[in-house]
Amino acid sequence: MSSVRALLKFWVILLGLLMFGLRPVWALLSPEEEAKLGRKILSQIRAQAELVEDPEVSTYLSKIGQRLLSAVGPKYFPFKFYVIRDSSLNAFAIPGGYIFFTSGLIEEVDREDELAAVMAHEIAHIQARHVARRLEALKRLQIAAGAVTIAGLLLGGGRAGSALAVTSTSLAITRALAYSRADEEEADRLGFEYLVKAGYDPSAFLSILNKITRHRWLLTETGPNYLLTHPAPPERITYLETLVARYPRKSSRVADPLYLRRIQVRLKVQTHDPGTLVVRYREALKYTPNDPLLHYGLGMALARARFFHEALQELEWVVRAYPGKDYFRLDLAEVYFSAGVYHKAQALLEAYLARHPQDVRARWLLTRTYQERHLKEAALKGFERLEKTLEDLPDFHYYYGKLLSEMGREGLAHYRFARYFALKGDFKVATYHYRQALKYLPPQDPLREKIREKLEAQRHKKS
């Protein structure tokens, strides 16, 4: 999905929800309203965009986020972080504390401080209620005119759509949604405070903004200028330079640069064609044959292309090259699991978890390994332990439902399948499974009330 197309869809979703789903008074959205709207937008983004569903990447972003949020003070929302498969350099916040990064942005950063700088800036927008204020400004526009603009945006790929979209009304709407210079300056100032208190280097603000500017953040050569949600960069860069001069340049955190590089390679393998990557990594290895990260990328790409024997050879080479970096053993276990060599995957994962008992990805892989080896009780304990941590991972609910069905717990199984399809944006199938769950669950099961609430919410969406 191109960045412009994704952005158009985002505006369409947002405009539709604003114009037809909110109370008509002209007051700033309450945190409760903003959270409700955010959940609706999140469900639509899940249906429209391709999210990167990698527990380790999600955990990595969450850890950075929690470090920053520890410096924020009282918060309106429980923040969550997501990655969208998109090659552009972009990040944006939606109501309710949901922050999205494109895979292209994460692949481009040179150090964790730069990723933290972008995250701090987006957190600041939410904390300063800039999102709520932009939405309030939008509510002042006429609904009928806005509906026409929505139609134009839906046709944005063609000439008619472009002609319709670039109107005075659409310009007014996008201006209403865009952050003002004062918003950006406040987000930069607050973001600096969060970044410094969390121990990151504030000069990362400048380095990442320069990268984004070079790649024309939120803009392509064919994209209209009015789609920009941030003001032109020269004034911001000057302001940021002034801020950086007031803060110490060195980070007080000691990050593992290799871990970030590994995360970037994982993302690249998950978001690009594996066959193309295999060719590229092999070509690069001709010139630097002893580069462990090239071997790592080749191994992960081969595994995704299902050439498991060669993939295992590459990953074992990497483990030998980095004996002190335990996370490569986790990747080796993942490839053994994908290859169906479950006993070796289990041995590696159990040993790894003995050293890193809180590792979410290892716990998830081991739970799935137990399931594939038909160790149902061990798998059930694993799912129960991971429920809160992986509640946003669709595959968690799918495989949990599959296990419950095999164990004869049909009501709970249908509930999990419903959660899977709801997270995938297929609300019709989700509704079917919710109703099936009600047929099988005991009359006094407290889950029944939760399911009725979800069905009622689906009914309101349709109306």
Structure tokens at 133: 């204020």
Q: Distance between CA atoms of 181 and 17, rounded to whole angstroms?
A: 26
Q: According to the model, what pLDDT value does residue 104 have?
A: 92
Structure tokens at 456: 């009622």
Q: According to the model, what pLDDT value does residue 379 have?
A: 98
Q: Distance between CA atoms of 86 and 98, rounded to whole angstroms?
A: 17
CATH number of 393-463: 1.25.40
DSSP 167: S
For 68-118, the three-class secondary structure string (H helix, E strand, C coil) is HHCCCCCCCCCCEEEEECCCCCCEEEECCCEEEEEHHHHHHCCCHHHHHHH
Helices and strands, counts by H and E, the chain:
24, 3
> Any alpha helices (H) in 288-426, and if so which ranges?
292-304, 308-321, 327-338, 342-355, 360-372, 376-386, 394-406, 410-423
Q: According to the model, what pLDDT value does residue 151 have?
A: 32
Q: According to the model, what pLDDT value does residue 57 have?
A: 95
Q: According to the model, what pLDDT value does residue 248 have?
A: 64
Q: What angle do CA 39, 44, 48 make, to 5 degrees?
A: 150
Q: Greatest CA span in the chain, whole angstroms?
A: 67
Decide: 181 and 231 in contact? Cβ < 8 Å: yes
Residues of the chain where predicted confidence (pLDDT) is lower than 70: 1-29, 131, 134-181, 216-233, 248-253, 458, 460-463
Domain boundaries, the chain: 3-246, 393-463
Residues 301-344 pLDDT 10s: 999 999 999 999 999 999 999 999 999 999 999 999 999 999 99
Q: According to the model, what pLDDT value does residue 160 have?
A: 37
Structure tokens at 44: 């639509």
Q: According to the model, what pLDDT value does residue 434 have?
A: 95
Residues 218-268 pLDDT 10s: 444 433 333 344 444 577 777 778 878 877 666 666 778 899 999 999 999
Residues 182-194 pLDDT 10s: 777 788 889 889 9
Q: According to the model, what pLDDT value does residue 219 have?
A: 45
